[in-house]
Amino acid sequence: MDNTQKGKLTSGNNASYWIDSVPGISYDPLKENKVTDVVIVGAGISGLTTAYCLLKSGKKVIVVEDGNVGSGETGRTTAHLTSALDDRYYELERVYGEKNTRLIANSHKAAIDFIEKTVLNLNIECNFERLFGYLFLHPSDDRGSLTKELEAAKKAGLEVEEVPYLPGIKEQAQSLRFSGQAQFHPLKYIKGLCDAIINMGGHIFTSTHADKINHEGIVTADGIKVTAKHVVVATNSPVNNKFVMHLKQYPHRTYVIGAKIKKGSLPKALWWDTGDFSENKEIPPYHYVRTQALDDTHDLLICGGEDHPTGIAEQAKINEEDRYSLLEYWAKKYFPIEEVVYQWSGQVLEPMDSLAYIGRNPIDKNNVYIVTGDSGNGMTHGTIAGILLTDIINGKENDWEKLYSPSRFKIFAAGKTFFKELAGGTLAYLKNKSHDSKPVEVGTILTNEGKIIEVEGEKFGAYRDENGELHIIAAECSHLKCIIKWNNDEKSWDCPCHGSRFTHEGKVLNGPANKNLQYFSKNK
């Protein structure tokens, strides 16, 4: 791993293939007050695409980023660029109607076209390539669902057909073949965007945490101000929105392995199964697969899945770190994989009604915008955000505005699981309030274990590192005070209520929390 990345992988301990295969992308931190047209918080695909589009439209832009560029979920993605969305088109049609479903399909097609055009215009070497995507039935799914999806996706305007095969897969089966899909190396792509942003006179400041965010701009953790006419919060989970948005979406952790396969042994394609309905009927965790050139003899099969709501992996009796072997088992069944050389996890926000929330922040001034609820389609949703927010800020009408509005509230679209997860989060909150989580004696904590301890009626998170040193942090999440839980896979403290995450030293990794937890020395 490149040394400049150390300590700046802002969302976990494991390095993804993307982070491992390119130098870290960093700029100077912000050191003096600034005034600009638009300040953007977060340098993932959403923030950077928005910066790029706004600069092209003539606006002055400053981007501030807590870690390195791409050190959030954009560095942990699998980078399928797809209009075959996570949620089925027949579901989208039920919730949004035929006309709006066509608009949804079009927006994702437009996002892939935008990326392709940008790659060509800026000459970005990011392994962008068009390919087919294949959707096949999970054994737990109803056989009729592929037929339903075919009809709905065609109605939405996608180029899709049923074929009697699955390329490269040992077990042959019917599948839906989607044309016009694509893949790329996400960090190489956003490095290209950064270069263009700087060339157009924009500014990017890394290692710069936006501590206070409001309609006037931001103030960093070091007390430096950026005053702006418009404020875009592209932090994945909006750190400026305490309640409203966190009742409309739910955080899930998702897992990825990178396994060697003999070079050229698989065709280039994207593969998805329809998801495990025995695990979760409304958000069935599905497998997502692609390849990536690795070296002279091998390609990498990048395979993801085994999702669960953040902070409660053990409820399914499978801890975070054990999910990779399930992925490997599944991948071996279908693909000719050899050694697993990468494993990492990340977080996706599942909206109650399938689409991202992009636009004005609800219950706020008109000049504050958010991008969130990315689901597993954040590469295209983040690109849609760049196009849409630029139009909104420039006062230009855009058909997508209402569709993606963060103020929409389609409660009838949310299935039972959504309410169960929301209730689970609320229950975790109430339990913590009644001090119902079970602290342990500090002496029982083993090397590489994290547990909750109690001192004089107050709870703390205690993690013993590989050298036997104990790291103790305040255990109440800085969002709404739920008690955090240890995630031994990414060596982070995760909050079961709304998905905030912290390092073993209490540094905030994922929102909605935006403040660190107090870190105490081992002698406290």
In the bound state with ligand FAD, the residue whose beta carbon lies nearer, of 74 and 249, is: 74
In the bound state with ligand FAD, the residue whose beta carbon lies nearer, of 41 and 331, is: 41
Phi, psi of 303 (to 5 degrees): -125, 125
Q: How far apart are CA 91 and CA 148, in angstroms?
A: 10
Q: How far apart are CA 63 and CA 402, in angstroms?
A: 26
Q: Which position among 105, 224, 226, 256 is part of the footprint of ligand FAD (CB under 6 A)?
A: 256
In DSSP notation, 206-254 reads -S--EEEEETTEEEETTS-EEEEEEEEE-SSS-TT-SSGGGGSEEEEEE
512 binds ligand FES (CB under 6 A): yes
75 binds ligand FES (CB under 6 A): no
Judged by CB under 6 A, which stretch of 175-183, 285-293, 442-450, 472-480 contacts ligand FES?
472-480
Burial class of residue 267 in the structure, from the number of CB atoms within 10 Å of its CB (0-12 exposed, 13-18 middle, 19+ buried): exposed
The gap from C-alpha 213 to its chain's centroid, in whole angstroms, comes to 21
Residue 304 near which of ligand FES, ligand FAD, none (CB within 5-8 Å, type-dependent): ligand FAD
- Cβ–Cβ under 8 Å, residues 30 and 226: yes
Residue 85 near which of ligand FES, ligand FAD, none (CB within 5-8 Å, type-dependent): none
Residue nearest to ligand FAD (CB): 378
Judged by CB under 6 A, which stretch of 60-68, 106-114, 147-155, 477-485 contacts ligand FES?
477-485
Place of tokens 């279908």: 334
In angstroms, what CA-CA distances link 226 with 28, 99, 220?
15, 41, 8
Judged by CB under 6 A, which stretch of 197-205, 377-385, 463-471, 490-498 contacts ligand FAD?
377-385
Considering CB under 6 A, how many residues would be counted as binding ligand FES? 11
Q: How far apart are CA 275 and CA 281, in angstroms?
A: 9
Q: How would you classify residue 12: left for phi > 0, otherwise alpha for psi between -120 and 50, otherwise beta?
A: left
Residues comprising the chain, all counted: 524
275 binds ligand FAD (CB under 6 A): no
Q: Which position among 495, 508, 509, 517 is part of the footprint of ligand FES (CB under 6 A)?
A: 495
Strands 519-520 and 470-474: antiparallel
The site string for ligand FAD over 380-409 (x = CB under 6 A, - otherwise) reads x-x---------------------------
Residue 495 near which of ligand FES, ligand FAD, none (CB within 5-8 Å, type-dependent): ligand FES
User: Going by C-beta distance under 8 Å and a sequence separation of 6 or more, which residues neighbour residue 108?
Assistant: 82, 83, 85, 377, 380, 384
The site string for ligand FAD over 413-452 (x = CB under 6 A, - otherwise) reads ----------------------------------------
482 binds ligand FES (CB under 6 A): yes
- Cβ–Cβ under 8 Å, residues 332 and 170: no
Residue 241 near which of ligand FES, ligand FAD, none (CB within 5-8 Å, type-dependent): none
Considering CB under 6 A, how many residues would be counted as binding ligand FAD? 44
Provide the token pair at 159: 């180029």
**Binding residues vs ligand FES (CB under 6 A):** 477, 479-480, 482, 495, 497-500, 512-513
Summarize as ranges the residues that interact with ligand FAD (CB under 6 A): 10, 41-47, 64-67, 71-74, 76-80, 209-210, 234-236, 239, 254, 256, 288, 304, 346-348, 371, 374, 376-380, 382, 511, 514
